[in-house]
Amino acid sequence: MREREPFVLPDDFLFGTATAATQIEGGDTRSNWYHWARAGNTKDGAGPETACDHWIRWQEDLDLIAALNSHSYRLGLDWARMEPAPGVFDDAAFAHYREELKALREAGVEPLVTLYHFAHPQWFEEAGGWPRRGAGADWLRFVSRVLEVLGDLVTDWITINEPNVYLIFAHVFGEWPPGDRSILRFFRGARHMVRAHREAYTHIHADAVRRSTIARVGVAHHLRVFDPLRPLLRDRFACKVTSYLSQDFFLKNMTGVGGRWADFLGVNYYSRDMVRFTADPASGFGVRSVAAGAPVNDLGWEIYPEGLYRCIRSVYSRYRVPVYITENGTSDANDQFRIAYIYDHVRQIARLIADGIPVTRYYHWSLMDNFEWAEGNGPRFGLYNVDYGTQERRPRESARFYSELARERAVTRDMLETYLSY
């Protein structure tokens, strides 16, 4: 990375933060993740039944969003809370989301709504989950009701968050619910998720036409850089296989050339993996590791800002639609390197824009510390520190930096001297 220096982003560039319903809301016990955590499947025993208590404290949290000078906010809907039994909808839950969405708009914050983010009703899980024939029809029934009740308040939609990550952890590694390791179920789930996204894309646009409004619809894809561990042909082959199975398949089938199935490319970027060939096909012929001597975050993920530039250059050359950075952030409990992490990654966005690539939004993950799936409450990704015992939120120094970054749409010399002079 070159010496840090000021940079400026376009006047219409949008900054925001991202969250997921199950990770922050609390108060619901009907999801697959509640049952999975209750069975002892998280590292610290924590579950999502309380999380950040956002369901109760959402107005307080809206003040936190506003304090960051946010132009947009990515939030998720809790399918389990909204459809507690097949075809049975909870009107009070829908009314709650209407109130929250209206408040965001009144505060001048554009909502970006995620329809599926790793969690679903336990009844859906017990029926067979995403690999089951008919899974897409169940989810699309929920999507249709969301459009009916909330569609007038939302322009920007993410249908599915990281389908690759969900299916790999659920059906390849077996570390997420339902915990059944089955390559066959992985591929069945992938096929059903692809089809469901395409149908949701069509439904959302049809609803916008009916309302005489516009809609922007995409998927939030988890993308990484895969580099060969050694300068060997077999390691390069392993990189190609790993990339195809873990991300390229989903990009191709959920975007389409020229964005047939997506109006933007949502990119969740965190790190890269070094890949070494293995003869085991169950591992996708690749074993992943961290580059020797590389800086890492609290979870041991390599901090590699250049990878954001490389990922987006690659995917934009294939799909030619606008790019939103729908997640980017780091686990840093002591807030020691988060400011530098944000600066270094947003600077890569400035490079991309200078190259003519339309990256138009950046959502930091996350607004606040939250329930991090199988990792429990341990990792700290938030601009706001959360005391899970008292539910007190406290801004980290990185929150102050991010607030100035969003306000200025730039990093000034004064900001460098204040926050990055070490």
Q: What mean pLDDT is predicted for residues 242-250? A: 95
Banded pLDDT at 280 (limits 50, 70, 90): confident
Q: The domain spanning residue 289 has which CATH number?
A: 3.20.20.80
**pLDDT per residue as tens digits for the range 38-61:** 999 999 999 999 999 999 999 999
What percentage of the chain exceeds 90 in pLDDT? 97
Residue 332 domain-assigned (yes or no): yes
Banded pLDDT at 169 (limits 50, 70, 90): very high
What percentage of the chain exceeds 70 in pLDDT? 100
Q: Which domain holds residue 211?
A: 7-419
**Three-state DSSP string of the chain:** CCCCCCEECCCCCEEEEECCHHHHCCCCCCEHHHHHHHCCCCCCCCCCCCCCCHHHHHHHHHHHHHHCCCCEEEEECCHHHHCCECCECCHHHHHHHHHHHHHHHHCCCEEEEEEECCCCEHHHHHCCCCCCCCHHHHHHHHHHHHHHHHHHHCCEEEEEECHHHHHHHHHCCCCCCCCCCCHHHHHHHHHHHHHHHHHHHHHHHHHHHHHCCCCEEEEEEEEEEEEECCCCHHHHHHHHHHHHHHHHHHHHHHHCCCCCCCCCEEEEEEEEEEEEECCCHHHCCEEEECCCCCCECCCCCECCCHHHHHHHHHHHHHHCCCEEEEEECCCCCCCCCHHHHHHHHHHHHHHHHHCCCCEEEEEEECCECCCCHHHCCCCCCCCEEEECCCCEEEECHHHHHHHHHHHHCEECHHHHHHHCCC
Model pTM score: 0.98
Give the chain's domain count.
1
Whether 1 shows a pLDDT value over 70: the answer reads no
Banded pLDDT at 259 (limits 50, 70, 90): confident
Residue 1 domain-assigned (yes or no): no
Banded pLDDT at 285 (limits 50, 70, 90): confident
Residue 171 domain-assigned (yes or no): yes
Q: What mean pLDDT is predicted for residues 81-95? A: 98
Residue 2 domain-assigned (yes or no): no
Residue 102 domain-assigned (yes or no): yes
Question: Which pLDDT score, from 0 to 100, does residue 184 have?
Answer: 95
Residue 16 domain-assigned (yes or no): yes
> What number of CA atoms fall less than 13 Å from residue 171's CA on the CB side?
22
Strands 392-395, 384-387: pairing is antiparallel
Longest dimension (CA), the chain: 58
Residue 75 domain-assigned (yes or no): yes
Q: Which residues lie below 8 Å from residue 91, measured CB to CB, with a gap of 6+?
A: none
Banded pLDDT at 176 (limits 50, 70, 90): very high
Whether 84 shows a pLDDT value over 70: the answer reads yes
**pLDDT per residue as tens digits for the range 210-225:** 999 999 999 999 999 9
What is the rounded CA–CA span in Å between residue 225 and residue 311? 6
Question: Which pLDDT score, from 0 to 100, does residue 133 have?
Answer: 96
Residue 219 domain-assigned (yes or no): yes
Question: Which pLDDT score, from 0 to 100, does residue 422 have?
Answer: 76
- Asked if residue 231 has a cis previous peptide bond (ω within 30° of 0), the answer is no
Question: Which pLDDT score, from 0 to 100, does residue 2 have?
Answer: 64
